Chain A
């Protein structure tokens, strides 16, 4: 067994209550997998581990394989650690036409990381993402749950530098 499986994870009391609420909210308990993964991810420093899957499997009484399938299918569940500010830059067509890829490279260069990496101080991680529905205000980035639109390389870095 790898370290990840040995590492333990336990939802907080509030987190557990939230998961229980989601379990009761829908017609099937499986529908609560996505919301519960969100809850767990938030409590596990922004990413999901095998320990998280096992804990949820136990709490939700759903086979771990099914939870893992869901976890690995959706891109918003992180499989590796992310920075405190997870910078997601769109590089799909509308943004690519307006410099989204140049923006990604610029941010990576300025922060001194490659895509998928976390800065040494743990504050930032950068990834490229597919269309986020912000094509009319391209290029854009999403930092955690917030959109920043109509960016230039400079304005993007100013925004990031302003983050605590």
Chain B
């Protein structure tokens, strides 16, 4: 365990760790573009130069292993001047188009320029022209002129996704990132390249031109896209949610997340949600306050408790399951509680990196709660019960992340065999609004609007906090359970009058999920 001194701070690092890692550990600032802790060392941006006592030449921190007693600084005038010039080399051919660049506000070049800018440009020659608006694939657009050729994205596709679609072609200042025509950047992790791009070269088709990043707030949470439970940050403002990015967690997702998970935000926004309680009967639809609707259901459940069954998806928190199951069991003695498994065939699959076939964040949590209450519902019994009409009222806590329940409509049809289908859920499910049988819909809150616990596929409990509220009237499953059991909420729901969120304005050029999946949104490709 060698000790070294970084800008005067003593720090101990593991054998074989680099000066860069020592900088990270001391939290001393060090400029770098090509180094990324999740990728191999490239050593090409040359920004992380630092002085090592006794070494006449500056060394790069990312490729120099710490030895005992090493004294390192990047605060000397020599180094500062060096970094200034290296940064200038990065900028001489950069288009400086920050006003129209999506990365502005979170750009490595901007950040470093504040500290190391030359502020006196000496480049008087024409800049190198490169390809712009290059369509790399269904998710990513490239602007070669903005690219600093740090090679992070290339290393990502080589080392992490192992798909190797990207390369750096040509040499010298003609070098450009690119794909070979006919083989697009198209893998399940492609958007990580956008995250790790330190500049505005790679932008997400989904996010580009939609929001200035300084108008976004962010909040850490756990992705509900599958049972891996990647740690993520959701970005939002009053207009809604705009993107999801991974947050480092060594034990769960490392530095990465999948592209599918990045779509979860779309189901959080108002236009994809049930916003009010709905009762449909004989083709007549009435709206109701969600709390009032839940409370009214109490009478029916109590009266028909032997004919009531409950279906739960693995999309809710442990706390909610506990509230729901215990209230059903204890208040009403209902034990017909069933676990709705979506995509049965691929449920147990795992791609070896992050993606799991179980597209629910909390299947493990649900099973634990069911086991605790000794519930052993068999799906066949439910189907039989619906068929022979022994189940008259069916309460379904449906999927919040509608996108991962492919066979949703078939199931809605199945459930609709009950006399009264009580649907608890956040996501707008059109099929419910076309039913002839009676259906009551209680809009629920999504995972970002509540706190709770998910247990991921590895059995890890992950607690998360509330990020914001999109639909104030919506209930959590816990609140619904309380109201359905005839009790009152301690905090009345109608407390807040004004909705915090505006209607989500869908723009013409915005890439919607459906289009993206079909790859219909195609950019005009620059020829490479």
Interchain CB contact (< 8 A) of A50 among B157, B168, B171, B180: B180
With a cutoff of 8 Å between Cβ atoms, the chain A residues found around residue B166 in the complex are 65
Of the stretches A13-21, A66-74, A140-148, the one at the interface is A66-74
Q: Mark B144-163, 1 if CB is under 8 A from A, else 0.
A: 00000000000001000001
Cβ-based interface call for B121 (8 A): no
Cβ-based interface call for B165 (8 A): yes
Cβ-based interface call for A4 (8 A): yes
Contact B182 A5 (CB under 8 A): yes
Which residues of chain A from 1 to 51 have any CB-CB distance to chain B below 8 Å in the complex?
Answer: 1-2, 4-5, 50
Cβ-based interface call for A156 (8 A): no
Interchain CB contact (< 8 A) of A68 among B157, B163, B167, B171: B167
Q: Considering the chains assembled together, what is the distance between the CA atoms of A104 and B180 in angstroms?
A: 34
Chain B interface main SS type: loop
Which residues on B are within 8 Å of A, measured CB to CB?
Answer: 157, 163-171, 179-183, 527
Cβ-based interface call for A64 (8 A): yes
Contact A69 B527 (CB under 8 A): no
Q: Can you list 11 A-B pairs, Cβ within 8 angstroms, ordered by A?
A: A1-B181, A50-B182, A53-B180, A63-B164, A63-B165, A65-B157, A66-B167, A69-B169, A72-B171, A73-B169, A73-B171
Chain B's closest residue to A67 (CB) is B180
Give the distance to chain A from B416, nearest Cβ to Cβ, in Å: 47
Contact B167 A69 (CB under 8 A): yes
Contact A4 B181 (CB under 8 A): yes
With a cutoff of 8 Å between Cβ atoms, the chain A residues found around residue B527 in the complex are 2
Give the distance to chain B from A72, nearest Cβ to Cβ, in Å: 4
Contact B168 A54 (CB under 8 A): no
Q: Considering the chains assembled together, what is the distance between the CA atoms of A1 and B184 in angstroms?
A: 11
Chain A interfacial residues counted at CB < 8 A: 16
With a cutoff of 8 Å between Cβ atoms, the chain B residues found around residue A63 in the complex are 163-165
Please name the 6 residue pairs, one residue from A and one from B, whose CB atoms are nearest each other, closest first: A65-B167, A63-B164, A72-B169, A69-B167, A64-B180, A5-B181
With a cutoff of 8 Å between Cβ atoms, the chain B residues found around residue A72 in the complex are 169-171
Give the distance to chain B from A7, nearest Cβ to Cβ, in Å: 11
Give the distance to chain B from A16, nearest Cβ to Cβ, in Å: 21
Which residues of chain A from 81 to 135 have any CB-CB distance to chain B below 8 Å in the complex?
Answer: none
Contact A50 B170 (CB under 8 A): no
Chain A's closest residue to B165 (CB) is A65
With a cutoff of 8 Å between Cβ atoms, the chain B residues found around residue A73 in the complex are 169-171
Q: Considering the chains assembled together, what is the distance between the CA atoms of A63 and B163 in angstroms?
A: 8
Q: Considering the chains assembled together, what is the distance between the CA atoms of A62 and B100 in angstroms?
A: 38
Q: Considering the chains assembled together, what is the distance between the CA atoms of A164 and B183 in angstroms?
A: 41
Interchain CB contact (< 8 A) of A64 among B157, B168, B171, B183: B183
Give the distance to chain A from B175, nearest Cβ to Cβ, in Å: 9
With a cutoff of 8 Å between Cβ atoms, the chain A residues found around residue B165 in the complex are 63, 65
Q: Considering the chains assembled together, what is the distance between the CA atoms of A69 and B157 in angstroms?
A: 14
Give the distance to chain A from B32, nearest Cβ to Cβ, in Å: 24
Whether A66 contacts B170 in the complex (CB less than 8 A), given A1-B182, A50-B180, comes out as no
Give the distance to chain B from A37, nearest Cβ to Cβ, in Å: 14
Give the distance to chain B from A61, nearest Cβ to Cβ, in Å: 12
Q: Considering the chains assembled together, what is the distance between the CA atoms of A4 and B180 in angstroms?
A: 11
Give the distance to chain A from B203, nearest Cβ to Cβ, in Å: 20
Q: Considering the chains assembled together, what is the distance between the CA atoms of A65 and B170 in angstroms?
A: 12
Give the distance to chain B from A100, nearest Cβ to Cβ, in Å: 22
Q: Considering the chains assembled together, what is the distance between the CA atoms of A63 and B183 in angstroms?
A: 10
With a cutoff of 8 Å between Cβ atoms, the chain A residues found around residue B182 in the complex are 1, 5, 50, 54, 64
Q: Considering the chains assembled together, what is the distance between the CA atoms of A69 and B179 in angstroms?
A: 10
Chain B's closest residue to A74 (CB) is B171
Q: Considering the chains assembled together, what is the distance between the CA atoms of A2 and B179 in angstroms?
A: 14
Chain B's closest residue to A71 (CB) is B169
With a cutoff of 8 Å between Cβ atoms, the chain A residues found around residue B181 in the complex are 1-2, 4-5, 50
Give the distance to chain B from A64, nearest Cβ to Cβ, in Å: 4
Give the distance to chain A from B149, nearest Cβ to Cβ, in Å: 13
Q: A1-B181, A65-B157, A67-B180 are in contact. List 5 more A-B contacts (CB 8 A).
A: A2-B181, A5-B182, A54-B182, A65-B166, A65-B180
Q: Considering the chains assembled together, what is the distance between the CA atoms of A53 and B179 in angstroms?
A: 12
Whether A65 contacts B164 in the complex (CB less than 8 A), given A1-B182, A4-B181, A50-B182, comes out as yes
Give the distance to chain A from B319, nearest Cβ to Cβ, in Å: 47
Q: Considering the chains assembled together, what is the distance between the CA atoms of A54 and B163 in angstroms?
A: 15
